[in-house]
Amino acid sequence: MRGTRPAAFGIPLLLLAVTALSSATPSRAEERKAPDDLPLGVSKVLWELSVPPGAEPTADKVALGEKLFKDKRLSINDTVACATCHDPDRGFVDHKSLSEGVGGKAKPTQRNSPTVLNAMFNATQFWDGRAPSLEEQAKLPILNPIEMGQKSPDDVVAKVRAIPEYAQSFQRLFGRDLTYDDLVAAIAAFERTQYAGDAPFDHYLHGDSKAIDASAQRGWVLFNGKGRCNECHAFNTVTPLFSDQKFHNIGIAAHKTDFIGLARRATEIVRSGDMKQIDELAIQSDLSELGRFLVTKQANDIGAFKTPNLRDIAVTGPYMHDGSMQTLWDVMDHYNKGGVPNPNLDGGMQRLGLTEPEIDDMVAFLATLTSARFAAFGKKEMARQRGLKNVRPERDTAVAMGLKGNLGDLAPDPTLRNPATIGVLLIPQNFLPPRGAKDGQRTEKR
């Protein structure tokens, strides 16, 4: 994903600052020393920056968090656990386009489950960044009506306290009766031990020239060159996450979404800072397609979603916030044609002109980002995707090659459109509350 909007205060910027000051502040780093057994490709410096003081994942807390993560009793009807949508054996996702909670297939969520792998390094959590930490993230699904369905934190605490094994564990580890904050702290501790690393690509970077094949090596070159992936998915020693941690509108769902109409509705009803309301709108309503706009209510965030980390991408499909792309070939086809035009399309979305062999090489490279722990599953998953390679709903070779469409710069007779139809989206001022007005007040003149 491509764009120019800066993150509020991303991990890469922190990494630069702290690296420069590390000699002056050794004590805090020593207090939160990274584990010695981090997998290849996981930065010790980044680990120390990403773990808040007091949130270090001890063995006992991790064990408790893992038990809670897999326990369906956290849900209202004992049918859904965190692991239901974030299966540890399958890349910490559920491999469904849209996740299902206590509402089942009759009431699916409006979002695809992002992986927990390397989530500890995210500057914000969820596709729209509505949660600032793993702890805050863990609170919301438990209370969402169609995810785990609990009515309140007090209900959760009462239910879990009544389970003797948990009551005893929390007393022993936290020195007090269980609280909701302690419960999510334990879950977050487990999540902070779920790394993506030790992939063939990591071994390639560390000098093993045979760790990835010639096709993947060509794909790596394309990734940083013609494919322009590194503009948002950069990887180097300073930004090792394959994500810029920013939010971009890349045209997902643009063909089926009236962004202007949705933004007008959201401006009227969204209460800034009301995390529970924003969570329910994101998970349960068609306003989900507004993405980051639900959190910020800024027009340039309409339809923008977070750039995902690419590690273990081969085992965490379907892809995009709505799970609308089934294979990595679909993803490449989407980018190759420059996305789907819409008023807020990120300025970096342009046709790439990749040939089919080049797309194959880039997919081969992405497959080398699979962690050793998922190697066997990754091979199975790539074989499954390869079997779907001839079904390409996102492919438009003529547009990708500049032979037609709004990006038809190479066509002898390029298609022309009224620029206003793909220009900057402006929400009419009469739909925005005046300065000082309370959320929900609208000033439209009737």
Decide: 258 and 84 in contact? Cβ < 8 Å. no
- Give the three-class secondary structure for 248: strand
Phi, psi of 87 (to 5 degrees): -70, 115
Phi, psi of 439 (to 5 degrees): -55, 140
| Half-sphere exposure for 404 (CA within 13 Å, toward CB) | 3
Would you call 147 a catalytic residue per the annotation? yes
Decide: 222 and 208 in contact? Cβ < 8 Å. no
Catalytic residue among 147, 191, 358, 394: 147
Provide the token pair at 66. 């893992």
Q: What are the distances in angstroms from CA 244 to CA 124, 149, 163, 406? A: 12, 33, 42, 27
Local structure of residue 24 (DSSP, 8 states) = T
Provide the token pair at 338. 């420059």
**Alpha helix (H) residue ranges in 38-129:** 44-50, 59-69, 82-85
User: Which residues face 247 on adjacent strands?
Assistant: 306
Residues noted as catalytic: 147
